[in-house]
Amino acid sequence: MFFLLVLSFTREVAAQGVSIDSSRYPRIVTFTAQQDHDNMMQQLGIKKLRPGPSGNESAPNHANYDESLANPCPKLPDILTTSDGRKVISAAMWWTQRQPQIAGDLEREVYGRLPKNIPKVTWTLKITDREFIGRTPAIVKQLVGHVDNSEYPLINVDINMMLVVPTNVKGPVPVLMMFGFPTFPSPAQPPPADMEKLNAAFKEMMIKNDPSVKAIFDRYPAYTPITRLPGPNFFAPPPAGDLPPTEQLLAAGWGYVTIEPNSIQADNGAGLTRGIIGLVNKGQPRKPDDWGSLRAWAWGAARGLDYLETDTLVNAKKVGIEGVSRYGKAALVTLAFESRFAVGLIGSSGKGGATLHRRVFGEAVESLTGSGEYHWMAGNYLKYGASEASFGSKTGCDLPVDSHELIALCAPRLTFISYGIPEKGDAKWLDQQGSYMATVAAGPVFKLLGAKDIGVSNDYQQEKMPPMLTDMLNGELAWRQHDGGHTDAPNFKYFIPWANKFLKYERIAAP
């Protein structure tokens, strides 16, 4: 902790020592989230938005949980019909005509477009550590991806990422990238002789700084301020229950990456004039079709994959993306728009993820168009929550696309849609049924491209979500609802063998 405080202070001083003539650049616009939201409404000609429903079922404006009222516009946009009405009958027609149409509509109306002038990212390896994580030896690399800000140095973006690769298997290995906060899992520690030197030097430094401390050390001569953390106990019995997902991956011969979303783009509307979105816009507010945080996080994940393609420990053709909740949305957006990712585990993603936008069950379009979560989406998405505007009013039924088409953009790559159950905390708010319908409706594209879907008919209006713990894992498109809460951890022991099967990966012990 002492080292981290010193390091943080050193960085702050160093940053203050950099001289930038801010008068040469446009001034950063500083908005609250509400001010930014109001600005977008003004750009779109929206006078009033419908309020989002309450998650409290006893509130007067509670969300709808009546299935008979959940589908005001039950017919989805036809996934295999082009915008000019022609049926898509071949894989070539999908890739050259329909897929670009869907991607363009999703970019324009839902998630935002990537700007053409995004600066390059340069990756730096900060620390390489050899660790034991559980019972698995691993190499851990702390990485920072610096975004070139020479065109606008008032905003700095450094992407934080941690790569963990097992060393007891023959590589290169598949890797699962996970949205989260990167930390060293089990930092290597000095041996006892080195710890003794560190304690002697630390005591001397403390006494020099404050001579009165010497009396304390004299009273407790055997006390050591710096102590070793408990290391792995290879003789202890294996822990009961499932291992943590990261340890399951390592034990199966996979590596994993943790990438920090907030180091790419803040998870709030006030941050839209900063982060990568603000850097590209030179500190100015977004336009209606500019990217939101979900697309920015997906862009950052793709830049992390750029690095992985250079690391000889990693099989870059077998890299996956994973996330839960808002990061489940981001993982699905990443898989849909970045074709180099081979597999995705999409956990409890709800509206803006796998759940149908036009469904009215739990979380609604209006939940995402209000000032709390609008930053995830393109500004244009606000139109679908408008009750009064220059264009009249719109709802989710007016969207030209829906989430079944987002899932279809992942085809024929491996796409595992995961949920838990409301009784354990994966709230009804997420509309598991709406995600199941979208998964069913995405199936025809997987089949058109030579892959398998979840193995039911593609009649999304008639197919009912199966009971929890039903494995629908026989195709490249997979569905499983576990019996836990707002997490995808219980599905890892199913996800890993499923992915291994289709990626044709088998763990081979290192020689």
Each residue of 273-309: pLDDT tens digit? 999 999 999 999 999 999 999 999 999 999 999 999 9
Mean model confidence pLDDT for the chain: 94
* DSSP-derived 3-state class of residue 318: strand
Tokens of 191: 């041996």
What confidence category does residue 26 fall into, taking pLDDT thresholds of 50, 70 and 90? very high
Looking at the fold, whether 202 and 150 belong to one and the same domain comes out as no
Assess if residue 34 is contained within a domain. Answer: no
Residues 355, 411, 317, 249, CA torsion sign = positive
Looking at the fold, whether 73 and 214 belong to one and the same domain comes out as no
Assess if residue 330 is contained within a domain. Answer: yes
C-alpha 399: how far from chain center: 24
pLDDT at 511: 87
The pLDDT of residue 18 is above 70: no
Looking at the fold, whether 92 and 180 belong to one and the same domain comes out as yes
Kind of pairing between the strands at 173-179 and 314-324: parallel
pTM of the model: 0.92
Looking at the fold, whether 196 and 271 belong to one and the same domain comes out as no
**Per-residue pLDDT tens over the stretch 367-381:** 999 989 999 999 999
CA-CA distance, 262 to 490, in Å (whole number)? 26
Task: Please provide residue 126's backbone torsions phi and psi, each rounded to the nearest 5 degrees.
Answer: -85, -50
Looking at the fold, whether 350 and 471 belong to one and the same domain comes out as yes
The pLDDT of residue 12 is above 50: no
Of 238-247, 344-353, 398-407, 469-478, minimum mean pLDDT range = 238-247
The pLDDT of residue 143 is above 60: yes
Name the burial class of residue 85, with classes exposed (0-12), middle (13-18) and buried (19+) by CB atoms within 10 angstroms of its CB: exposed
pLDDT at 235: 62
DSSP letter string over 147-212?
E--TT-TTS--EEEEEEEEESSB-SSEEEEEEES----SS-----HHHHHHHHHHHHHHHHHH-TT
Looking at the fold, whether 315 and 286 belong to one and the same domain comes out as yes
CA-CA distance, 383 to 394, in Å (whole number)? 6
Tokens of 336: 């849909």
Assess if residue 9 is contained within a domain. Answer: no
Looking at the fold, whether 109 and 194 belong to one and the same domain comes out as no
Assess if residue 263 is contained within a domain. Answer: yes
Looking at the fold, whether 416 and 467 belong to one and the same domain comes out as yes
Task: Write out the residue range of the structural domain in which residue 200 sits.
Answer: 190-228
Instruction: Give 484's DSSP letter.
Output: S
Domain count for the chain, please give it.
Answer: 2
**Per-residue pLDDT tens over the stretch 479-489:** 999 999 999 99
The pLDDT of residue 445 is above 70: yes
| CATH code, 345 | 3.40.50.1820
